Amino acid sequence: MNKTNYWIWHFGDFEIFHTMQVQLRREEQGYHRPPFWKIHTPYASVKFRKQINSSGGYMICHINGSGHIAVDSIRHCENTHIELTPGEHTVEVLVSNYGGIPAVFIESDVCPSNESWTCNHFAGEFEPVSYNEYFDSVYKNPEIFSFEYKRMYPLGKENYNDGILYDFGKEIFGFLNISGVDENQEIKVFYGESREEALDTDYSYISDRISGEKDYQLRQRAFRYVYLKGLPIKAQISADFEYLPLCNKGSFKCNNPLFNKLYDVAKETFHLNCREAYLDGIKRDRWIWSGDAYQSARINRYLFADKEIDQRTLIGLIGRMPIEQHINTIIDYSLLWIIMLYEHYITYGDKDFLKRIFSMADELLNFCETRINNDGFIEGIGDDWTFIDWTKMDKCGAVCAEQMLLIQTYTAMAYFSRELGVGNSDELYYKSEELKAKVNKYYWNEEKGAFIDSYTSGKNNITRHANIFAIMYDIATEEQVERILENVLLNDSVEKITTPYFEGYELDVLAKLGVFSKVEDMLRSYWGGMLELGAQTIWEEFDPTMQGIRHYAMYGGKYEKSLCHAWGATPIYLFGRYYIGAYPTSPGYETFTVKPNIGGLAEFCGTAPINDAIVTVEWNEKHLSVIATKAGGTLVWKNNNYSLVPNKTLVIEL
C-alpha cells in the first residue's frame, strides 16, 4: 500500500474547481463576461472514510475548509495529534468548503491520506477518492494550480504620442509588473497581441487603469505589446510569464525550412494554451470549449502526450450530473466530447478513468437522444447551438455534419460498453448502423456525388464539413470517398474553409487518402500565409483575401480575433500521425503501427509519443530507420510488415 501522503478530494472536484476559475475570468473592454452555459462547482461538503486495523499509531488531520475528524465516532478538531489504540477503527473526516475544494491531508504512520480512502458527498455510494501526486505536502494547497514562472523584460521600447509602447518580442501569458511609479499617478495600460491593437486605445480589447501605489503586479493577461500612458521615465517594466511545465516528446525536422518553422510556431501556440485545461485562445475567451479541446487532444498526443490535461479538460467540461444542456450549449460539442473520450482511451488505455467517467458519457448520450427528431436525426431545439464551423452552411433542420458525429458517438459508446461490460453494445452498434443508412438515404446526393448539409430546406447545398467527417470516421463507402475527394475536397468551387479548426480536419482526411501534395500546398499557402504576415503564433481564423488590420477583426470587433489559438497547431498532429505515421491499434499503444509517409519531402526525422514511450523515425533517400522504446509495434512500409523489437533500430535500405 502507498504510504505517501496526498491531499485527497472527491472525484471531479479538483478539475471542476479549476475549470470554474478559468471560465469565470474572462474580461473584455472593461467589463466581466461570464460564460453563457451552466457552470459546475465542487461539492460543498464531502465525507471521507477509511477502515483500518493496526497495532497502534497516530493521526494528524489537516482540512482544506472546515470540519472535524471522528475516530470510532469520537470527534476531534483538525490539527490534533490523535493516538490510535491497537485494533480496528473507523475513521471519518467531514469537510465543508463552499466555493473551494473540500480536501483532507492526513499525517499518519498507519493510514495516510492516499488512494486507499473513500468518500461521498453525503449522498450516494462511497467511492475511491481522487488525488494528484504533486500535492504531497500539507503546504501545497490543491486550490492553487501548479505553474512555473519566468521573468521577462521588453525587447523594444517606443515613444508614441504621450505614451510608451513596449514589445516583449513574443506573445506571453502572465503578470505585468510596473515599479517606480509616483504615488497617486494614474497610468492607463493597453494590451495587444498586435502593435496596432495596443496603440488603438479606443478599441484595444483588454486594458487596465491603475493609481495610488508605487509598485504594481497587474492581473494575468495575454499580450506581446503593452502601451502605457502616464508612465514616468524612471518606471521599470517587466512581466512574469506563467506557463505549465510540459515535456516535448514529439519532434519533427525535414528539408523544408517552412515546415520546420510551422512546427515550432504550432508548438509555441499550443503550449501557451495548455493550462488548467485546454484553452481556446489566451487573449479573448480563455474559455474551455469542447470542440477546441477535441482538436487540442489530437495535437497533444503527438507533442506532450500529457494524459492529465486531457482528463482535467474532459471532467471540467462535463461537470456534474444531471446534464441539462449541451456542452457549451453546442450539439456538435457534446458529441465531440464523447468522441474525445474514446480517442483518449485508445491513446492512453486508462480503464480506471474510463470506468469513473463512463456514467457521465452515458448520461450525455441520453441527453443528446432527447434531441432526436421524427426522422431519427439529432436536431437542435430551444437554445441549442449548431456550430460545426464559422462558415456559410445550410443549417435548416437536422444538419448532416451532426449526424456524422452522432454515428461516431454511437460507435464509441458501443466500444465502451464492450470494454467495461456494461449496457448493450449490440444495441448501440445497431443504432450506429441504422443512422448511417438513414444518412445515406436523406443526405447523399447522387447527382452531386456528396453529402448535402440539410434535406429540410431543399437547397441541396454542399459544404466540406459533413463530407470531411464522413471520411474521417470511416462512414462513407469506398465509392463515396472517391466521389467526395473529386467533387468536394479537390473542387475549388466548393466554399473554402477559413478556420484552422476545420482546415485541420480537411488536411487530416487528405493525408488519410494519401493526397500529400494538397496537404503540403495548404501548409504552405494557409499556415505559411499567416507567417508571411508576421504571425508568431497561429490565428483563430485566416482569410488570405483580407488585408492590413482587417486580419485582426472578428465577431464585429476590430481586434477580437485570437492571434494565438490552440486549434491552429494542427501541423503537429499531421506530421506525427501521417509523416512519422504512428498510431495505436489497441488501447494505450499496447499494439501500434508505424506507417511513415514521405509526401513531397526529401528527408525527415522525428519522434512521436506512443503513450508512455517514444518511436523515432528517420527517412532519407538512402534508408528508413525506426526505433521504438516499447514492445507491440509493427512497421508498415511499401505493403510489407516488420516487427519492431524494443530499443533496437530497424533499418531498411532504399
Q: How confident is the model at residue 234 (pLDDT cuts 50, 70, 90)?
A: confident
Give the global pTM.
0.96
- Site of grid cell 437536422: 398
| 1, pLDDT greater than 60 | no
pLDDT of residue 29: 81
Domain 8-131: CATH class, spelled out: mainly beta
b (16+ CB within 10 A) / e for 322-331: ebeebbbbbb
Grid cell listed for 154:
521588453
d(CA 103, CA 123): 17
E strand or H helix that includes residue 177: strand 163-179
**For residue 178, with 0-12 CB atoms within 10 Å meaning exposed, 13-18 middle and 19 or more buried, which class applies?**
buried
Q: Which helix (H) or strand (E) holds 503?
A: helix 500-512
Cis peptide before 112 (omega within 30 of 0): no
Residue 307: pLDDT above 90? yes
- In whole angstroms, give the CA distance from residue 621 to residue 15: 48
Task: Please name the CATH architecture into which domain 581-653 falls.
Answer: Sandwich (2.60)
Q: Which tens digits make up the pLDDT trace of 537-559?
A: 999 999 999 999 999 999 999 99
Cα angle vertex 376, ends 372, 380, to 5°? 35
Average pLDDT, the chain: 96
Q: 287-296 b/e with 16+ CB inside 10 Å = b?
A: bbbbbbbbbb
How far apart (Å, rounded) are the C-alpha atoms in residues 13 and 146?
16
* Strands, sheet with 74-76, edge to edge from the N-terminal-most edge strand: 74-76, 66-71, 87-96, 45-54, 118-120, 127-128
pLDDT of 232: 87
Average pLDDT over residues 226-241: 93
- Give the N- to C-terminal CA distance of the chain in Å, as an integer: 53
Tens of pLDDT along 247-277? 999 999 999 999 999 999 999 999 999 999 9
Task: Give the C-alpha separation, 297 to 279, whole Å.
Answer: 11
How far apart CA 644 and CA 626 sit, in angstroms, is 8
Inter-CA distances, 115 with 52, 122, 133, 238, 397, Å: 14, 19, 11, 42, 48
The grid coordinates of residue 135 equal 500535492
3-state secondary structure of 650: strand
Residue type, 278: Y
User: Does residue 494 surpass a pLDDT of 90?
Assistant: yes
Total count of residues recorded for the chain: 654
Domain 331-386+392-496 = CATH 1.20.120.790: no
- Domain 148-243 sits in which CATH superfamily? Galactose-binding domain-like (2.60.120.260)
Range(s) of the chain covered by CATH 2.60.120.260: 8-131, 148-243
Q: Between the CA atoms of 503, 506, 510 and 516, what dihedral angle is there, to the nearest 10 degrees?
A: 0
Is the pLDDT reported for residue 3 higher than 70? no
Q: Where along the chain do the CATH 1.50.10.10 domains lie? A: 331-386+392-496
pLDDT tens digits along 406-452? 999 999 999 999 999 999 999 999 999 999 999 999 999 999 999 99
In this prediction, residue 212 has a pLDDT band, given cuts at 50, 70 and 90, of confident
Which band of pLDDT confidence, cut at 50, 70 and 90, is reported for residue 512? Answer: very high
**pLDDT over threshold 80, residue 2:** no
**Continuous segment of H or E residues that includes residue 482:** helix 478-484
Instruction: Give ranges for CATH 2.60.420.10 in the chain.
Output: 581-653
The whole-number pLDDT of residue 129 equals 98
- In DSSP notation, 393-454 reads ---SSS-HHHHHHHHHHHHHHHHHHHHHT-S-HHHHHHHHHHHHHHHHHHHEETTTTEE-S-
The pLDDT of residue 496 is above 80: yes
Long-range own/partner contacts, residues 619-628 (CB < 8 A, 24 or more apart): 621/654, 622/653, 622/654, 623/651, 623/652, 623/653, 623/654, 624/596, 624/651, 624/652, 624/654, 625/649, 625/650, 625/651, 625/652, 626/594, 626/596, 626/650, 628/592, 628/594
Instruction: Give the list of residues 6+ apart from residue 470 with CB closer than 8 angstroms, or none.
Output: 404, 451, 476, 480, 481, 484
Nearest Cα residue to 519 out of 229, 256, 153: 256
Answer whether residue 332 shows pLDDT above 90. Answer: yes
Percentage of the chain lying above the pLDDT 70 cut: 100
* pLDDT above 90 coverage of the chain, percent: 95
| For range 479-501, the mean pLDDT | 97
Residue 562 has pLDDT above 80, yes or no: yes
Q: How confident is the model at residue 214 (pLDDT cuts 50, 70, 90)?
A: confident
CA distances from 504 to 260, 507, 508, 575 (A): 17, 5, 6, 12
